[in-house]
Amino acid sequence: MLLSPRRLLPLAVAVAAVPVLALPAAPSAAASYGTPTITFSAGYLSGAVGATGDPTVGVTVAQSGAPASALTVAASASTKASVARTGDVTVTGGGAARTLAVAAQGVGYTDLTVKVTGLGGKTATRTLHYAASAAVRNSAASRYLTGSSDASAAVDAGGGYVLVGDDESNTLRLYDRNNSGAPVRSWDFSSVLGVSKEIDIEAAARVGDTIYWTGSLGNNKDGKVKPDRHTLFTTRVTGSGADTQLSLTGSYQGLRDDLIAWDSAHGDRYGFAAGAAEGQAPKQVDGFNVEGLEFAPGSSSTAYVGFRAPLTPAVTGGRALLVPVTNFSSLFDGSGTHATIGEPIELDLGGLSVRDVRRNALGQYVIVAGSWAAEDNSAPYALYRWDGRPGSKPVKLLDLPTSDAGAWEAAPDLPDLDAPGARVQLITDNGSADLYGDGTDAKDLTHPEWKKSRSTWFTLG
């Protein structure tokens, strides 16, 4: 039987109608990842057992070929687990920048190995050198100011920040007063002031945008007369809070001589000349050493100069001494004006002397009182309230804790002392403290991140 021509298909057409299946693509080459990198904002970190809000370290990680979010960071080893274990290290943040914190277990030093793990199983490590100090009382209300251990004077900068002077250097530092850590910025006016040694900054007072700073005016600990310690200077404040800036506006080197001359003209009433003589150590009951400065009630020109030594009389149990300088604000204009001295004020602080004095806008005062001799917590400290007027008796607000390292040295500012729940912040000088149990004074530590003073809020009433 013959087929219909319509049923016959050309061979070429039939073949072309068969679908052609595409071959699978060859597998792509595996992604290439570089070795991760890890860097720290600082290679040294300090903490304290039981602390709240200890300093932290910034960690930056990266890996070529991989997003930073894919990298993990954790501690992988500790050379002394009794100080801090790997599990005591926490790293927060998920991008290139992370924050590392350590919860101290005990006093001492350890090296912590911190490892970043990237894609492709590649890793890198970095060592963090960590030091932990002992637990303190009032730890929840305490913060640590790092970079220096010798805080000795402080004034409020506004916006939650504080300016701190140091008695072992001439550096002024700006700190966040509510958080532990390094200064936001710092200033050293030594070259402009023409000093090459430490001024031994011990006190400060602020009026408007002017801060008055004073050295101790005393000899060094070996009894040597050191003229740089006779320096007073003023700084002008611009901005506030974290944006605070300082500029030097004046200086005066004659107050020590003015005080000695006044005392000599008044029958050596307080023995200033003898206490300041070559060979006399300043921190004796009959020595010569200034540690407090604040302005008189309602005045921006008369300042009270507070003495750590001498007591009056210069015996155990003697009274603390404040000397009014009635033209204090006029001493810094370079005119050659000398200080005029008012009638001294003698205060019963229970045998303690002045470590700081501070006035608020309401005319209320507090006096931080401590021993003329103590460098740390080896003698009592107390906080007194006063109205700033001669003849008025100071009233003890509280005894300050002395079981922890550090000497109570500075009160940056005051709240309304009559307000319910009023709190005052005090700062310690830790320079003579053995913070880490190795017999080294904090001021002699090699790394500034391990040097630290402590601030603590105290509730009054």
- What are the DSSP calls for 197-261, one per residue? S---EEEEEEETTEEEEEE--S--TTS---GGGG-EEEEEEES-GGG-EEEEEEEE--HHHHHHH
Where are the domain boundaries for CATH 2.60.40.1080 in the chain? 37-133
CATH 2.115.10 fits 139-459, yes or no: yes
Residue 24: its pLDDT value, please? Answer: 43
Q: Any idea which architecture 37-133 has in CATH?
A: Sandwich (2.60)
Segment 382-439, tens digit of pLDDT: 999 999 999 999 999 999 999 999 999 999 999 999 999 999 999 999 999 999 999 9
Sequence-distant contacts of 54-58: CB under 8 A, at least 24 apart: 54/101, 54/102, 54/103, 54/104, 54/144, 54/180, 55/144, 55/146, 55/180, 55/181, 55/182, 55/449, 56/99, 56/100, 56/101, 56/181, 57/99, 57/100, 57/128, 58/97, 58/98, 58/99, 58/100
Where are the domain boundaries for CATH 2.115.10 in the chain? 139-459
Q: Which residues of the chain have pLDDT under 50?
A: 1-30
Residue 319: its pLDDT value, please? Answer: 98
Residue 31: its pLDDT value, please? Answer: 64
Segment 227-258, tens digit of pLDDT: 999 999 999 999 999 999 999 999 999 999 99
Question: 11 - beta bridge partners?
Answer: none
Residue 148: its pLDDT value, please? Answer: 97
